[in-house]
Structure 1
């Protein structure tokens, strides 16, 4: 359910970082997902581990974790968070063909970790693109979205239970 006002703006329309000083610290979890579609031959290189640049998904996993930790530096009005846990999972999908990335971020604090999970997915997919662009410049990142969030005043969001967005 959308909020009636955008909290990153003052009543005068000026950008602001949201005041979280009075919010309770709770366990916060967010799960995001996205995919990168590629030529079947590119996916085969990743799957076989024969790409000349090395372990594409291993490097992308580290990049995702680093990206999650740098979110507040990249997104101007995000609060810096102390992440307590980040997991990055990849699955190879021959029907795309491509790679699906799912990231779970956790913290204990007064604000959520949705942006960290979404940033981590994007950075992971960008890293796959960077490592494979020499063999496939037509790769396309797609379907980046929040799957789940829990903790805090706004309650739980779960993509499976809430209405799908009109773009999917």
Structure 2
């Protein structure tokens, strides 16, 4: 029975707080990377120039804006299942034979005894991590600045 207690202890000591902490840090780092990417995209749009109707325009002046993303939720799911069984089997069988031949009598007896004790422990685990990512409009200050840049730029000729 001590093996069963050991397996139970191991299953119950799963590092759930560390998993949650690592997930939080990973999401914060991923969010930072997404923000940096959006900023770099805005810079690239401001620097990219295209010619329309004989005039040169950058993408920002044409109304393009970078896409921003945000994590709205994250889920850690862990499922553990384990089963323990113990069985005991005890068996007795006996037999006797008698034989008579030419004045001799033979008697034989046999006894079979068996005893078995079986232990079985099985454990299964499954985990999943899911994060939901959504697109957001640009921050209001950036949107106002982009609007000013767009209004200051000459209108494209049709």
Q: TM-score, normalised by structure 2?
A: 0.28
**Higher percent of residues as helix:** 2
Computing the radius of gyration over CA atoms, which structure comes out larger, 1 or 2? 2
User: Which of the two has greater strand per residue?
Assistant: 2
